[in-house]
Amino acid sequence: MEGLGQVELPILSCQNLCKSFPGNQKQEKLVLANINLAVPKGSFVTILGQSGGGKSTLLKLLGGFLPPSSGRVFFDGQPLTQITPKIGMVFQDHNLYPWMTVEQNIGFGFKIRGDKPGTYQHLVHEILDTVGLSQSRKLYPHQLSGGMRQRVAIARSVVVKPEVLLLDEPFSALDVQLRRRLQDFLLTLWKEMHITMVLVTHNVEEAILLGQKLIVVGNQPGQIIEEVVISEPQYGDRYHPDFLQLQRHLESLLDSNLIDPVQAKPLPISNGKAIS
Amino acid sequence: MSITVNQWQKWQKSSLSLICGICSCLLLVAVWEWVGSDPINPITQVLPPPSKFVPVLFESDFKIGLGSQSSTIYQSVFVTLLRVFAGMTIAFVAAIFCGMLISLSEWSELFILPILGLIAPIAPIAWVPLALVVFGISNLTAIFIVFMGVFFTLTIATVAEIKRIPENLLITARNLAGSRFNIWRMVVMPAVLPSVFTLLRLNFIAAWMAVLAAEMTGLRDGLGAVVMTGRNLFNSNLILLGICIIGITGFAVDRLLLLIQRRFFWWRV
């Protein structure tokens, strides 16, 4: 993997980001508290946390899909206040349009902007080759497997050349074999297309394998409890002792951050630690 | 070309359904013929069996009615279908359009939906006298009645379906820099069309009954008028013939709508 020293200034960052939602008894429920993070341009950042910990909310805030309760998000140095096509999003459920074929779904980003088919068809065909779906271009989403659908969703987002691609647990519904193939596919895509990627996952292995920078988000309210910079090649091998050691460390970190059901409040947070 | 197991099972299922349907209809006709075979049975006078009323069609050279007012059975079927399809098409397009307009603003929903909810339960037949006063004895009357029977329910359904569209489908479209107009045209409309069309199909029965009622009460032609001619002539053969044609045509149109639904509006969001 490339080291973070080779990448440029943050393309996406946030300062003191907080988000709360209306809770019970007219009280606001704080979901995210004081999130500060920076995503360097061209990097692959993974956000790791347990289900219900506010990871997806963080991703939506970073993409401008949700307004923060306080704090700010910056994209390319400018405050981000609304959705922009420069930041693409891939959801956990693929969100393909069921009435469109694979080809039409991928070209939808151009079509909805009012572009003429002649101006983007070659790009659609190129990305179809890249994601290995040329043979399936005339099929509809219901005729595809789960993995193929996610590849179409990723292709639809990257074909319009966003500067940042946010991925919200895109492989969580897939079996282990398929998930590993798609992880490799995503890494290849990232290296070939030079798109900054931010992936949210609850899978520790996935977070280490894909990320150059790994951010661990604790529970209730969600806050960053550890940042790990991964630059050594052994972290690309899931059976390497260093990889397994980091995996154990992160798993125990997540376990220790679980909510105590008796006390109903978070257990103490460990300090951030960097491994390089 | 090889046939997959799934296709074979589907074919088997649809064949079984067809065979069972034909068998049950044949059984009904057989029982009817058996009951009607006794000439002194009073039921035979009111419900003549198919062997009695079907020949009427051939004997009259497919014409029904008296003198210059007579028309062929094809014309009657055609004119009724034309009225139903015209009314339903106008109602379908108008409901999609109005439903989308209403959904544009929360205020319009708050103000307009209660009015629609108030008018929707009015039976289409209740509009017949008013339609006759406004449009006279014409095709417009029948089309208006079909429209009134379908439009309000479909508009309410369109508004409900728009609310049901998964948020992420809309977010994806917005994220891809779609204009508001294009999102409505390319995402919202295709997302609601199948459900609204299904409801249109379910409402066809109501529209069909409404137009027949209009033809029986005010209009001079169409399938409803065939039954009324039978009544005026005290001809139960003609009444039964009209009823059977109404049933068969209604069934055929329902199958046609199902075919359209499966061919053009097959997806679900």
pLDDT above 60 for A276? no
User: Does residue A271 have a pLDDT over 70?
Assistant: no
A267 Cβ contact list (under 8 Å, min separation 6) = A256, A257, A258, A259, A260
Say if A206 falls within a structural domain: yes
Tell me: pLDDT of A195 over 50. Answer: yes
Kindly state whether residues A152 and A182 are assigned to the same domain.
no
Quick one: A169 and A242 in the same domain? Answer: yes
Q: A161 at the B interface (CB within 8 A)?
A: no
Q: Do A113 and B176 touch (CB under 8 A)?
A: yes
pLDDT at site A270: 42
- Best B6, B172, B180 member to test A by mutation, with max A CBs in 10 Å, is B172
Nearest to A113 among B169, B178, B267 (CB): B178
**What would the pLDDT profile of A57-89 be if each residue is shown by its tens digit?**
999 999 999 999 999 999 998 999 889 999 999
What is residue A12's predicted lDDT score, i.e. its pLDDT? Answer: 94
| Per-residue tokens: B158 | 């369109």
Same domain, A32 and A144: no
Q: What is the DSSP string of B215-233?
A: HHHT-SSSHHHHHHHHHHT
Whole-number pLDDT of residue B209: 85
Residues from chain B that touch A80, judged by Cβ atoms under 8 A, are none
Q: DSSP H helical segments within chain B, as ranges?
A: 5-36, 42-46, 50-59, 73-103, 106-119, 128-135, 139-164, 167-175, 180-183, 189-217, 223-232, 236-264
How many CB atoms lie under 10 A from the CB of residue A71? Answer: 17
Are residues A43 and A144 located together in one domain of the fold? no
Chain A nearest-CA distance from B84, in A, is 28
Q: Which domain holds residue A139?
A: 96-161
CA A174 remoteness from chain centre: 16
For residue A264, pLDDT over 60 is answered with: no
Q: Residues of A with CB below 8 A from B174's CB?
A: 83
For A98, name the nearest residue in chain B, comparing CA atoms only.
B267
Q: Does the pLDDT of residue A263 top 50, yes or no? A: no
Query: What pLDDT score was predicted for residue A274?
Result: 41
Q: Which of A158-162, A163-167, B35-39 has the lowest mean pLDDT?
A: B35-39
Residue A133's nearest CA partner among A200, A196, A185 is A185
Domain presence at residue A77? yes
pLDDT, averaged across chain A: 86
- A143: pLDDT strictly greater than 90: yes
Residue of A65, A66, A97, A160 to mutate, interface with B, max B Cβ within 10 Å: A97
Give the containing element (helix H, strand E) for B3. none
Residue A265, pLDDT above cutoff 80: no
- pLDDT tens, residue by residue, B61-98: 777 766 666 778 888 899 999 999 999 999 999 999 99
| pLDDT for the residue numbered B41 | 76
| A173 in the same domain as A212 | yes
ipTM of the complex model: 0.80
Q: Is A85 touching B (CB cutoff 8 A)?
A: yes
Picking from A45-49, B125-129, B161-165, which range would have the lowest pLDDT averaged per residue? B125-129
> B227: pLDDT confidence band, cut at 50, 70 and 90?
confident
- Distance between CA atoms of residues B96 and B89, nearest Å: 11
Q: What is the mean pLDDT of residues B110-127?
A: 89
In a domain, A276, yes or no: no
Is A148 part of a structural domain of the chain? yes
* Section B28-33 average pLDDT: 89
* Cβ atoms of residues A188 and A140 within 8 Å: no
Task: State the pLDDT confidence band at A8, using cuts at 50, 70 and 90.
Answer: low
Most confident of A186-195, B87-96, B230-239: B87-96
> How many A×B Cβ pairs under 8 Å?
55
In a domain, A199, yes or no: yes
Q: Are the beta carbons of A95 and B172 separated by less than 8 Å?
A: yes
pLDDT given at position B3? 67
At CB < 8 Å, which residues of chain B contact A?
Answer: 166, 168-169, 171-179, 182-183, 186-187, 190, 267-269
Ramachandran angles phi, psi of A154, nearest 5° = -70, -45
Is there a domain that residue A190 lies in?
yes
Domain count for chain A: 2
CA distance B184 to chain A (A): 10
CB A267 within 8 A of CB A218: no
More confident residue, B265 or B53: B265
Check whether residue A123 and residue A206 sit in a common domain: no
Distance, CA of A45 to CA of A208 (rounded, Å):
10
Residue A108 is assigned to a structural domain of this protein: yes
Q: Mean pLDDT throughout A243-262? A: 79
Taking the Cβ of residue A83 and every Cβ of chain B, the question of whether any pair is shorter than 8 Å is answered with yes
Select from A111, A132, A161 the last residue of a domain.
A161
Going across the sheet that includes A223-229, the strands are: A87-90, A164-168, A196-201, A44-49, A213-218, A223-229
| Domain contains A15 | yes
Rounded to 5°, angle at Cα B188 from B184 and B192:
145
Q: Return the pLDDT at A262.
A: 45
Percent of chain B's residues with pLDDT above 70: 97
Residue A2, Cβ neighbours under 10 Å: how many? Answer: 12
Q: In the CATH hierarchy, which fold is given to the domain comprising B74-264?
A: MetI-like fold (1.10.3720)
Structure tokens at B135: 């449009």
CATH code for position A242: 3.40.50.300
Q: Which two tokens stand for residue A243?
A: 């990889």
In sequence order, the β-bridge partners of residue A10 are: A40
Subunit contact A99:B267, Cβ cutoff 8 A: yes
Write down how long chain B is: 269
Domain limit, last residue, from A161, A187, A209:
A161
- The predicted structure's pLDDT at residue B44: 78
Give the residue with greater pLDDT, A177 vs B148.
Answer: B148
- How far apart (Å, rounded) are the C-alpha atoms in residues B55 and A186? 73
